[in-house]
């Protein structure tokens, strides 16, 4: 990684940290990638009283002169997120100090990146996921080098290393029609690394990609 590349990464990280400390793009940005019409309307956006809390990690790192982040393809199992692409993360446990700690712990358990390797930059807007009844807090972080990933085969069918510039490419944003609960729904998604990234993960990515710092992301 040359000096010029490091300067570019540093400028991106300074701006990203600044963006995350200011008022966030929030729900409007999330909803750009939300299925439409919202099945059942606003009802799906109000957390139930028994909603659990979870944390996920958007972990940036440099690789081949560009910024990447890991997503995971979940194994096929009887459950609402079977076979879907998401951030590493999961439900809060009593041992976690906060939801950033949840995201870091789960990332270590799922893909083997130790919290000591990671610098937390800030957090995005929490998102209520109706299907799993979770309020999910995304944490944004950085590590200075491409981690050595060690995936838990029970949690991760495949690790996906996604280049940030691919997510920022307007051509990666697409929409397909699906039948959900008996009605046709337009489902926006990101088409990256041969996968379809939709639902809550796409909504969280949409807010992340709306931050001004994304204009500074180095391209290889």
pLDDT score for 145:
95
Angstrom distance (rounded) from CA 27 to CA 58:
18
pLDDT score for 80:
58
pLDDT score for 38:
62
Token look-up 């099945």 returns: 39
pLDDT score for 43:
47
Angstrom distance (rounded) from CA 107 to CA 105:
5
Query: What does the H/E/C string look like for 108-171?
Result: HHHHCCCHHHCEEEEECCCEEECCCCEEEEEEEEECCCCCCCCCCCCCCCEEEEEEHHHHHCHH
What string of pLDDT tens digits covers the 220 residues of the chain?
Answer: 456 888 999 999 999 999 999 999 999 999 999 988 765 554 467 888 888 999 999 999 999 999 999 999 998 876 655 789 999 999 999 999 999 999 999 999 999 999 999 999 999 999 998 888 999 999 999 999 999 999 999 999 999 999 999 999 999 999 999 887 788 889 999 999 999 999 999 999 999 999 999 999 987 6
pLDDT score for 161:
98
pLDDT score for 46:
81
Q: What pTM was computed for the model? A: 0.93
| Of 170, 174, 159, 197, residue with least CA distance to 68 | 159
pLDDT score for 115:
97
Residue 44's φ and ψ, nearest 5 degrees, are -75, -10
Angstrom distance (rounded) from CA 153 to CA 143:
23
């Amino acid at each position: 990684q040359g000096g010029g590349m490091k300067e570019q990464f540093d400028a991106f990280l300074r701006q990203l940290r600044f963006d995350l400390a200011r008022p966030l793009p929030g729900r409007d940005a999330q909803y750009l990638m939300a299925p439409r019409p919202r099945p059942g309307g606003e009802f799906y956006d109000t957390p139930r009283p028994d909603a659990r809390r979870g944390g996920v990690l958007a972990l940036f790192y440099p690789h081949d002169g560009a910024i990447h982040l890991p997503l995971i393809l979940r194994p096929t199992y009887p459950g609402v997120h079977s076979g879907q692409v998401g951030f590493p993360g999961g439900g809060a446990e009593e041992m976690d100090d906060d939801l950033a700690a949840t995201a870091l712990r789960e990332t270590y358990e799922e893909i083997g990146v130790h919290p000591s390797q990671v610098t937390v930059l800030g957090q995005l807007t929490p998102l209520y996921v109706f299907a799993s009844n979770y309020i999910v807090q995304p944490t944004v972080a950085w590590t200075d080098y491409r981690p050595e990933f060690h995936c838990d085969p029970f949690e991760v069918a495949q690790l996906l290393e996604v280049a940030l510039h691919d997510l920022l490419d307007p051509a990666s944003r697409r929409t397909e029609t699906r039948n959900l609960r008996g009605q046709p729904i337009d489902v926006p998604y990101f088409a990256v690394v041969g996968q379809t990234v939709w639902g809550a993960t796409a909504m969280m990515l949409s807010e992340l990609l709306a931050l001004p710092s994304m204009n500074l992301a180095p391209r290889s």
